Amino acid sequence: MIPPGEVPPGCTPVITVRGLRNSFGEQVVHEDLDLAVCKGEILGVVGGSGTGKSVLLRSIIGLQTPDEGEIEVLGENMVGRTEDEAKNIRRRWGILFQNGALFSTLTVAENVEVPIREYFPFIKPPLLDEIASYKIAMGGLPPDAGPKYPSELSGGMVKRAGLARALALDPELLFLDEPTSGLDPIAAAAFDQLVRGLKERLGLTVFLITHDLDTLHSVCDRIAVLADKKVIGVGTIPELLALDHPWIQEYFNGPRGRSAAASYEKGATA
Amino acid sequence: MAEVTYEDGDEGKGAIYRVAGTVNIARAATTQREIDALPDPLTIDLSDINRMDTVGAWIVYRTVRDRGAKVIGASRDEVSLLKQVGEFDVPTRVVPDEPHDFMAVLRELGAWVAETGSTLVGLLGFFGATLIGFGNVIRRPKRFRLNAVVQRFDVVGVRALGIIGLMSFLIGIVVAQQGAVQLAQFGAEVYTINLIGRITVRELGVLMTAIMVAGRSGSAFAAQIGTMKITEEIDAMRTIGVSPVEALVLPRMMAATLMMPLLAFWAMLTALFGGGIFVWLSLGIPPLTYIQRLQEVIPMTDLWIALIKAPVFGFIIALAGCFQGMLVQGNSEEVGSRTTNAVVQSIFLVIVLDAVFAVFFSSIGWK
């Protein structure tokens, strides 16, 4: 297995992080963190609570200014950009926040239209509404979800609506922050399949933060493990298990990890 | 980028829309406009494009769907993308149906009346629940939460001293200054003292304090209890066997009811002090004379009126705040709207009651 910061052969990097350092006051969250995400892959990011998965995401998308380090997304340097410069990159990615972060005063369809209106104000209403509708369908929601307000949706539907909004601008890169947390196992499995299907259909690159072992097995091409303030390894599950790190062993070989692996193998052979 | 060809010679073939480069969301508006400008029957030639996203595919798809256009020259990827977006073709609805007519106005009015009615009934019910809670505490004094009550005294009363004192001091000065200007026209500046004394003690001191307490504590009650409703803390309390009325509502009610008269008295004193400073510096009336005049012109009943009104106002403020907090359901947005309601309701009720008190006390001869 190659070190986390290095680009594997045959890979076009979409995100590269080098020497990242983040801290809040005395508490250092990341120290000398390296990571590369390849075009067209689904990279799962795992780590115990408080290892800074969300902080890493926030640094990459520019919501958190790191103390040190370089971050490059889609070939553009992200650190120290002004709002205007960052706008061009923001157009090319979509983000699903952990709790959906839907605008509560707008309907689902209007939520999906927000980014489109912002960047392409000349698209006329009938076409705009149709675009919102097929994005909502693409997110796996029934057609009658369009005119509903976020407060009328269940947890799973909020995530799907958030995904539809993340897909609004036909992004090249999709960030998902714990997309299956709070969903029942059936809804979570359906969401996993949805993400996998969208990735194959639209050729997306997906950066996926998760705790869900089933998601890791069924969806992710590679997995990055955050521990000890850095990415300690990137690779497939067998590659990671070859690393003799206690957290990795505990995580994938613990009772939950083993049952997830078993059910995945059963599914693959059946 | 688009090249439009008319095949004139060939009868019935119509226009060909030939696009080169990209058909994507960035060019969506242009592409749609160009397509709309072309006559039927239309043929779309995709052989020269190098990138198409789902929005581009959707525009091609809807042209085929709505106008029966023919697509030629699409690569395998493009055909599959067109098919895929076609799969997601669902009826378009963006906002909920809302009839905007006379009936809708009637319905809204009816809903408003019904809601106001049920709020009033709910308020009455809440008042009753509070009384029952109070009765329980009196019967079993062990359940009285002394710590919670004392803490509320601090938050509602002691910590409000600064802002209420400053506000009343300034109001005293303003009343004195405005009064002096007007009374000077009659050469009766000395009556400024009557004005300050009676208006601050009888009305302004307690009224302004009530408004400040409503804004400061009434809103806090609604927001605190409302947030606890959302985070299910209130439900947790109930399941543990703690009555939310006894633990949360009663201490706040007692604090507001008991602190209001003290704060109002403090407000009167600072207002009189502010007025006295102005009168001394501007009209040259020395402090001792000022105090002596105050004693002569303010009847004792003015103070009684204020001290009777104050706890009632405090109770109303706490009642509205806690009641609105308990009404919070669902999402965090509601905490904001309920808090606003609490403040608006309590200030409104305070002013209405103040008018009732004014009429009442006048008619029993406390003029």
Minimum Cα–Cα distance from A139: chain B residue: B88
How far does A37 lie from chain B, in Å, by closest CA?
22
pLDDT confidence bin for B88, thresholds 50/70/90: confident
- What confidence tens digit (pLDDT) does each residue in A223-257 have? 999 888 888 888 888 888 888 888 888 888 888 88
DSSP-based three-state secondary structure for A139: coil
Long-range contacts of B145-151 (CB under 8 A, 24+ apart): B145/B246, B145/B247, B145/B250, B145/B251, B148/B247, B148/B251, B149/B250, B149/B251, B149/B254, B149/B255, B151/B251
pLDDT (average), residues B318-331: 91
Q: Where are the domains of chain B?
A: 2-87, 124-363
User: What percent of chain A is predicted at pLDDT more than 90?
Assistant: 16
More confident residue, B9 or A197: A197
Among the partner residues A129, A131, A144, nearest to B55 by beta-carbon distance: A131
pLDDT exceeds 80 at position B99: no
pLDDT exceeds 70 at position B8: no
pLDDT exceeds 70 at position B4: no
Closest CA to B287 of B296, B297, B277, B295: B277
Closest CA to B272 of B169, B202, B164: B169
pLDDT score for A270:
52
Does CATH place domain B2-87 in 2.40.30.10?
A: no
pLDDT confidence bin for B13, thresholds 50/70/90: low
- Work out the end-to-end distance of chain A between its first and last CA atoms, rounded to an integer number of angstroms: 29
pLDDT (average), residues B108-132: 92
Q: What is the pTM of this model?
A: 0.73
CB distance B56 to B29 below 8 Å: no
pLDDT score for A64:
84
pLDDT confidence bin for B354, thresholds 50/70/90: very high
pLDDT score for B170:
96
pLDDT score for B5:
53
Among the partner residues A110, A146, A151, nearest to B331 by beta-carbon distance: A151
pLDDT exceeds 90 at position B344: yes
Strands A230-235 and B15-23: unpaired
- What confidence tens digit (pLDDT) does each residue in B191-227 have? 999 999 999 999 999 999 999 999 999 999 999 999 9
pLDDT score for B161:
96
Residues of A in contact with B24 (CB under 8 A): 170
How far does A83 lie from chain B, in Å, by closest CA?
20
How far does B264 lie from chain A, in Å, by closest CA?
41
Among the partner residues A110, A119, A202, nearest to B54 by beta-carbon distance: A202
Q: Which amino acid, residue B44? A: I
